[in-house]
Amino acid sequence: MTSAPRAHPPTPARPGTPGAVPRAAALRRLRRIACGALALSALSAGAMLPVTTAHAAELAFPFHTDFDSADGGTLSGDAEVGDGWLRLTDAVRSEAGSWATDDVFASDLGLEIEFRYAMHGGTGADGLLMSLSDGAVAPGVGRPGAALGYSCYDDSGHYGTCDVAGMPGAFVGVGFDLRGNFSRPFNGSGPGPQPDHVVLRGSGNGTDGYRFLRGAVGPDGGVGTQSRSDERTVHVTLLPAADGVLALTVRSDSGPGTRMRTVIDQVALEGDGQAPLPDTLRLGFTASTGNSTNAHEVDDLTVSIPTDVGITQEMPERVVAGTHVRYTATATNRGRNGSARNDVVIATPTELHDVRWTCAATAGAACGAGSGAGPEIATTADIDPGATVTWTIEGDLAADATGQIASAARITTPPSRADTNTADNASTVRAAIGTDAALRTEKAAELLPGDVELLPGGVFRYTITAVNGGPSDARRVGAVDDLPEPVRFVGSEDGCRADGQHVTCSSAVTVAPGERHRFRFDAQLDAGYRGDGADVLNVAIATSPDDPDDGDPSDPVPLPGPIGTIEPPVVTPTTPPHGGEHPTATPRPSASATPVAAGAHPARLAFTGTVGTAAAVLVAAIAVVTGLGVRSVRRRRELERQEDPAA
């Protein structure tokens, strides 16, 4: 469990700095010297005494103190509480201070310890330490200075075999060592000085043990701070394995707003000289100065039971607008401890409507609610190690939805538990929104208003209708139409254009499922066409970028009927040319006669008998003039209709 940092007053001026009252500073200095001497002598003397037994109660989880007071623990040496901080030492030479909980924690479930610290204001020594000791042993501290109040010490100054006892009943110490001397080879165990390191030492009692376990450089290459405002946050996790061996992990940031990093990862607290895990553990902090100094301070301590819950989501990579969408969110406990009443919040996609959900749990887990409805799911889940809880979420995606949908889920442990891996506590999934409009095409051919038949050379109208069968909206609906050979495109007021025989209709119109959009354009039948229109078939196709394979083609459509013909007049001369027989004109086929193949031209007049050249020329001239006149009239009529469609 991570708590938000509190606002703290600025670091107070150290004794002897400008602004301090000289007499008060001097008295405080004398008091510290006296207390420090008494503390050092008491520590040294106490280290030689036999271990005493403590009778302490077990603390409930979570345990928290912001050090507004010393409640819950006991101060010793130069340690004091003020301004919301536990100050273990001032930036003064030869100080030592400690604080330890009065009661103890059960160790069988492990511990998750979070605190903030600051080391600042002096010349860079020595460091501070978090300790865990046997809860059945009365609290105490080890040698100050290089031992950081935890380890035993070689009083000769050679860092060899200890002759000064360390912390009684010590189980593990986590040192934040500025000077580096906590890595010295006390009792022959240690690599030597390692400044700016986080260092682990194992169990010990009296002058035995306190073995060096592991050291690692602090985040960003150090462990110090410039002031209280640069405080660092630390997480120490102790997790027991099935065989009872405790593994320790240290994570730390390098200041407010920086990333939490794993500094020491799952070091097993076992091996030669390591004491078995006690039934209970006591938590404490120690710090000291020597010839070099620093203020050593601790803030916002929280102790919880570690667990590791996480949440994931599964959603299709692509969803289709206008369809039903289903996806799942699953919470899992990967830790060693169960976690009850975890808060779960799932913000479903805003594009989904009529959202509903159900919950199912495996053995060892329980849903806070079995089902519900609404765009935000706020519920709880109880999850034992290895168990899972799954929410199945369903909703209808709007037909006009575009872009993508997103779902965000988060799980939060209850106050009694601390999540050792918060990276998997939140999940966001996204899906691209696709479209799947199923267009159907309808087409019709019709005479222009006022016409009763379609003559060769005449103009008629095609209508193409795009019908959206859904489920998605169809945007930018259009159509394509390849005209048959005897037909030519004339014009359109509905966005249709032609390139030769290929007609393309376009629009910015969006057609919702179940709705339709119409395109109309005029076309002209070739003047030489002879037929009834059934042989001139035409098919159109509706289009949209939201229909992946374009629309279904229309049924073939013939020309609008009836189809008329242009009949030249039958000419019978009254005077036989040159005394011969009267010529007999061969009549043209009527509309009811057998159709002429498309593209064929009308039959010419034929004469029988003796025909003079002059008579033939006369008859031909009359026929031509009459035909041109009729055609001119009809052509002018068609042009007038185009100029005035209302006519």
Q: 447 is written with which tokens? A: 């005479």
pLDDT at 581 over 80: no
CB 173 within 8 A of CB 129: yes
How does DSSP classify residue 646? T
Amino acid 75 reads L
The pLDDT, as a whole number, for residue 568 is 58
* Average confidence score pLDDT of the chain: 84
Instruction: Sheet containing 318-320: give its strands across.
Output: 318-320, 426-434, 404-412, 339-347, 376-383, 365-367
Work out the percent of the chain whose per-residue pLDDT is above 90: 70
State the Cα torsion 237-240-245-250 to the nearest 10°. -10
Q: 474 is written with which tokens? A: 């169809």
pLDDT at 18 over 80: no
Name the nearest CA neighbour of 522 among 487, 561, 557, 556: 487
Amino acid 36 reads G
Instruction: Sheet containing 352-361: give its strands across.
Output: 309-314, 324-333, 388-397, 352-361, 371-373
Q: Helix or strand or coil: residue 272?
A: coil
pLDDT at 40 over 60: no
> How far from each other are the two terminal CA atoms of the chain, in whole angstroms?
83
CA atoms within 13 A on the CB side of 389: 30
Q: Is 206 left (phi over 0), alpha (psi -120 to 50) or beta?
A: left
Angle CA 466–487–494, to nearest 5? 35
Q: Is 89 left (phi over 0), alpha (psi -120 to 50) or beta?
A: beta
For the ranges 25-39, 145-159, 403-417, 516-530, the lowest mean pLDDT is seen at 25-39
User: Whole-angstrom Cα distance, residue 347 to residue 359?
Assistant: 15
* Residue appearing with tokens 């906590």: 182
User: Whole-angstrom Cα distance, residue 293 to residue 493?
Assistant: 90
DSSP readout, 359-400?
Answer: EEE-TTEEES-SEEESSEEEEEEEE-TT-EEEEEEEEEEPTT
User: Whole-angstrom Cα distance, residue 12 to residue 25?
Assistant: 13
For the ranges 39-53, 94-108, 311-325, 597-611, the lowest mean pLDDT is seen at 597-611
Q: 112 is written with which tokens? A: 């998750």
pLDDT at 406 over 90: yes
Global pTM value: 0.67
pLDDT at 466 over 50: yes
Q: 111 is written with which tokens? A: 């511990």
pLDDT at 49 over 80: no
As to burial, measured by CB atoms within 10 angstroms (0-12 exposed, 13-18 middle, 19+ buried), residue 239 is: buried
Q: Helix or strand or coil: residue 172?
A: strand
Q: Decide which of 245 and 458 is more confident.
A: 458
Name the nearest CA neighbour of 222 among 127, 96, 286: 127
Backbone CA torsion sign across 134, 135, 136, 142:
positive
User: Whole-angstrom Cα distance, residue 432 to residue 520?
Assistant: 36
pLDDT at 254 over 50: yes
* Residue 639: C-alpha distances to residues 369, 521, 523, 646 (Å): 75, 15, 13, 13
CA atoms within 13 A on the CB side of 169: 22
The pLDDT, as a whole number, for residue 50 is 47
Q: Helix or strand or coil: residue 44?
A: helix
User: Whole-angstrom Cα distance, residue 432 to residue 434?
Assistant: 6
State mean pLDDT over 181-208.
Answer: 96
Q: Which domains does the chain have, with CATH numbers?
A: 22-138+156-305 (2.60.120.200), 309-434 (2.60.40.740), 437-543 (2.60.40.290), 577-643 (no CATH)
